[in-house]
Amino acid sequence: MRIAQPNIDEFYAAISAKLRGQEVPCAVTGGLACVEFGVAQHTEDCDLICPPEHAKTLLQVLRASLFGAVPCRYRKTSPPLDVRWLAGGYTAHFLWPTDAPEKPSLDVFGAPPRVSTPWEKETVGRFAGRHTVAEMKRTNRRKDWDQATALGLAMLEANDPRGWLHIFDATTLRTLIKKLSLGEEEIRQRPVLQLAKSSSPLLDRAVQTEIEFWTHLDALRLKVYQASHESYGRALLKVAKKPPTDLIAQHQTRVELAEKLLPERPMQDYGIPRLIEEARDATAVGLDPAILQFLPQVASHFNNIASIS
């Protein structure tokens, strides 16, 4: 007998509802949040922010969440959904390997990258706020930058001046500056806005440089996590050729290996100031140094990792 497949959006909504029913704060971010906020894209994957200390509850909720009749499982070499690694900035990956065209897939962030303000205070229904989603969009993927800009515009429409921090299109900045006032706080956080205000011909180059800087920063960050994950991933592939079907058993295997092979705080071990310096150096190659002075200070975007003791 064929079991009817639920709607994938409703399926993710049910997971959020179960978590909130157990007093676990959580928020959907990424592509699904973008769709909600007026930036359509085709995605079946759900990105979920959940405080690391609630990892155990989330694991139990995932175990109990079947898509049709299909149980949740870890993706191949995912780190464990455990407070220690989530707090260190790792993402845990899950999927429901159904035969149906829609295959749910869930990525869990405990310390969402680049998020500089408390995301819990700005949720919109089951979604992270636009500011959180837009900060997470400063990635090494080109398409994300237009989405960040669209979110920034939506924030300005909603009278949130932080929208200025997310507009990475010089043409739009030039038009906006003629119509809207720009606050000192936004200029302080994002020096490039000064160029828009003064109608500087450097604006286009400076915005591109900013994008390039964040892109390097994200690529270097991922490199740190990939390097720290290597031994663990290899060991996991060896022992898990026939992984247990039960999610909790899969979890136990991962925790045992992670305790031996997966550093808990790779970003702190590497050094956040060092990472930022390397991103600046990579951005500076072949560039007029005058442009570099308009790069933002980004240390606060690592606070949710740096604060781990």
Footprint of another protein (CB under 8 A): 7, 9, 35-36, 38-40, 42, 44, 101-102, 146, 149-150, 153-154, 156-157, 169, 171-172, 175-176, 179-180
Q: Which are the contacts of 180, defined by CB distance < 8 A and separation ≥ 6?
A: 156
Concatenated DSSP letters of 260-300? HH--S-HHHHH-HHHHHHHHHHHHHTTS-HHHHTTSPP-GG
Least distance (Å) from another protein to the CB of residue 194? 20
Least distance (Å) from another protein to the CB of residue 136? 18
Distance CA 37, CA 23 (A): 25
Distance CA 169, CA 174 (A): 9
Q: Tokens 């897939």, residue?
A: 105
Q: Which of 82, 91, 59 is nearest to 228 (CA)?
A: 91
Least distance (Å) from another protein to the CB of residue 296? 21
Q: Which C-beta is closer to another protein: that of 183 or that of 271?
A: 183
Q: Which C-beta is closer to another protein: that of 50 or that of 150?
A: 150
200's tokens:
């500087």
Least distance (Å) from another protein to the CB of residue 177? 11
Q: Which C-beta is closer to another protein: that of 9 or that of 278?
A: 9
Q: Which C-beta is closer to another protein: that of 11 or that of 225?
A: 11
Least distance (Å) from another protein to the CB of residue 171? 8
Q: Tokens 């994002």, residue?
A: 190
Q: Which C-beta is closer to another protein: that of 35 or that of 282?
A: 35
Helix locations, the chain, DSSP H? 8-21, 30-36, 55-64, 83-87, 130-136, 143-157, 170-179, 184-189, 192-197, 203-239, 247-261, 266-270, 272-284, 289-292, 303-306
Q: Which C-beta is closer to another protein: that of 41 or that of 297?
A: 41
Least distance (Å) from another protein to the CB of residue 36? 6
Q: Which C-beta is closer to another protein: that of 111 or that of 150?
A: 150
Least distance (Å) from another protein to the CB of residue 16? 15
Distance CA 97, CA 119 (A): 30
Cα 97 → chain centroid: 23
